[in-house]
Chain A
Amino acid sequence: MKRTWKVKTWRLFIITVVGLYLILPLYSMFDFSTKPFTYFEKGRTLSAWKMIPKQPDLAISLIRSLTMAAIVMALILVVIVPTIVWIELRLPKLRRPMELLCLIPLAIPAIVIVVGIAPIYRWLSINVTESPIALAWVYAVLILPYTYRSLAASLAANDIHTLAEAAQTLGSSVPRMMAGIIMPTLRTGILNGSFIAIALVLGEFTISNILNYKTFQVVIAQIGRTNGNVAVAVSLASILLVLAILLIIPNSKRQKEVLDVDVA
């Protein structure tokens, strides 16, 4: 069929152009990271990459950042998504103020936000804990612009009002309706929002660096100080690692499990 052929060609064209745009700079990084950096090495070398696993702080910082990602995920599922849906259903007048509030973390550069956040973390450090895990709270705020937008996209494409009415007519409780009916409907939005949230938590550098918390990216930057090749290698490695983590999570069955867990 002619139309299908046309669609296929366009599809291939777009994927190639955008794909090259995204892949070429990453390839340049890989290219440089495998260049020899001492006189004794010839041709290609993996010396820079081999230095990565030797770093003692790396594993613990990764576990820390993953813990924070898990806390942020929990907050998304239990607080953020229900609140956004709640506003959509019950308080539609608050939709725009909510969207604006969710954009604010992005409106102010992180280097300024940290000025306002620092006193809170100072207080927490002195009176409660100095654990970097406490950063999960500020991360749950930083992810709002992205999570809100992908969720709003899902909300716009689905008629959850009808769903909610039907569910409640049938006598379903609010949490049951939220977790069992509405959230599965918004799955793509929630998932994409969560993905970018996980990527943000594992990729955040500015705030943890200024507050001197040893998160994954802070340790990555420290390893990179040895030399330029290593800096590029660890940076690329961290992209690949986060990519791998995100690839392990999604799988249709597991997605459902994640979203259905809250029903109980």
Chain B
Amino acid sequence: MTNKVIGTGSAKSRAGSRLKDYAGLLPFLAFTGLFLIYPTLSVLIGAFLDPKGKWDLSAIRNLFSDPVTKNAFANSMQISFTTAISGAILGGLFAWALVSGKKEGFFYRFSVALSSVLAQFGGVMLTFAFLATFGFNGLVSGYAVKHFPNSFLSNSSWLYELNGLSVVYTFFQIPLMVIVFLPTIQNLRPQWREASDSLGGGMLEFWLRIGIPVLTPSFAGAALLLFVNSFSAYATAQTLVNVSSLLTPLQIGAALTSEVGGANPSEAKALSLLMVAVVTVAMFLYSLLRKKVSKWESTR
């Protein structure tokens, strides 16, 4: 099959090559099967079991009846949506700014490396960094109190609310966006150079014919990743806010770690099932969007 042209071939060899096509997935499936699919399934099945291992739907039923759970879920959706949008826009713009500069220059390389590190930065130290900057007596808020006593920066209470958490999350969403969006925008670079070299009408034509169709799927895909990224973020929120029912991942954490008699692994697993369901739905919406875009592209 090594000399066969991709995507063609006689009908006779079709079935055999199909099988071979699927066989190509084996190495990947071998390790994800053991280290991803098996643990995920074992967690998700746990949502339907009581602590003694008997079938029990009460944890699932609780998801839909408990107002605290509903509230946490709504908050989680809200913060994930806002930070996916803010991170995607700011990160996308930053990626554009990087690409319009000198490629492979030090600043470019430095930014890519820094973004990779900061996209993974979170937890107690990220919380500390923001508290020390915008919290009471912090670097920026302290300065604001002295020089701009009436600005919003001088009163730090916003940091401890959901909005404050959004601001903290955006800190790791921006660099993540930069990393995953750069490849797209970089490949567009020569074309838009051409387009901007030509007259103004060329620019519009460029965006309609190349820019939007190429960027939209990638942008949406990246935004989806950002959404999921903040949807499941735990350590940062856990160290900034003392309310375990604020967000779904915090509720999961409480159900797993509570030392005052609130530990309930089935609840944690049921909530995880809910999260996987949300990601699946988001994924479905995203593939619908992609289909729309490719249709739109073909009618152009």
**Which of B24-73 touch A at CB < 8 Å?**
24-25, 27-28, 31-32, 34-43, 46
Q: How far is the CB of B272 from chain A (nearest CB, A)?
A: 5
Asked if residues B256 and A103 are in contact (CB atoms below 8 Å), the reply is no
B residues near A109, Cβ cutoff 8 Å: 232-234, 249, 252-253, 272, 275
Residue of B nearest to A104 (CB): B40
Asked if A32 is at the interface of the complex by the 8 Å CB criterion, the answer is yes
Measured CB to CB, the closest approach of chain B to A213, in angstroms, equals: 15
Interface residue B171 (Cβ < 8 Å from any Cβ of A)? yes
Contacts of B41 in A (CB 8 A): 116
Determine whether the beta carbon of A153 is less than 8 Å from that of B180.
yes
Which one of A22, A232, A243 lies within 8 Å of B113 (CB-CB)?
A243
Chain A window 3-25, contacts with chain B (Cβ cutoff 8 Å), 1 for yes, 0 for no: 10001001100110110011011
Given the contacts A120-B39, A149-B222, A250-B109, A243 and B283 also touching, CB distance less than 8 Å: no
Determine how close the nearest CB of chain A comes to the CB of B122; give it in whole angstroms. Answer: 9
Query: In the complex, which residues of chain A have a beta carbon less than 8 angstroms from the beta carbon of B272?
Result: 108-109, 112
Q: Determine the chain B residues whose CB is within 8 A of the CB of A31 once the complex forms.
A: 132, 139
Majority DSSP secondary structure for residues of B touching A: helix
Size of the chain A interface, CB-CB below 8 angstroms: 96
A55 to B257, CA, bound (A): 30
Interface hits, B84-130 → A, CB 8 Å: 90-91, 93-94, 96-97, 100-101, 104, 109-110, 112-114, 116-121, 123, 125-126, 128-130
- When each residue 81-121 of chain A gets 1 if its CB lies under 8 Å from chain B and 0 otherwise, what string results? 01100110111001010011101111111111101110110
- Contact between B117 and A157, CB atoms less than 8 A apart: no
A28 in contact with B120 (CB, 8 Å): no
In the assembly, what is the distance between CA of A209 and CA of B125, in Å? 16
Tell which of B46, B91, B100, B283 touches A103, judged by Cβ atoms closer than 8 Å: B283
Question: In whole angstroms, how far apart are the Cα atoms of A203 and B126 in the complex?
Answer: 13
Whole-angstrom distance between the alpha carbons of A174 and B3 in the complex? 8
CB closest chain-A residue, reference B226: A149
Please tell me if A222 contacts chain B, counting CB pairs below 8 Å.
no
Residues of B within 8 A of A110 (CB): 234
Given A107-B231, A145-B225, A232-B125, residue A137 in contact with residue B140 (CB < 8 A): no
Contact assessment for A115 and B43 in the assembled complex, using a CB-CB cutoff below 8 Å: yes
Cβ of B196 to closest chain A Cβ, rounded Å: 6
Tell me whether B299 is interfacial, beta carbon within 8 Å: no
Which residues of chain B are near A137, meaning CB under 8 Å? 31, 34-35
Residue among A3, A17, A203, A247 making CB contact with B121, cutoff 8 Å: A203
Bound together, the chains give a CA A75 to CA B229 distance in angstroms of: 23
A-B contact pairs, 22 of them (CB 8 A): A29-B132, A91-B21, A101-B37, A107-B276, A107-B279, A117-B35, A120-B39, A145-B225, A146-B176, A146-B225, A149-B222, A156-B217, A157-B183, A169-B5, A173-B2, A192-B116, A192-B179, A196-B119, A196-B120, A235-B125, A247-B110, A250-B113
Known: A116-B38, A140-B31. 7 other contacts (CB 8 A): A75-B31, A79-B27, A83-B28, A111-B234, A112-B43, A204-B120, A206-B234
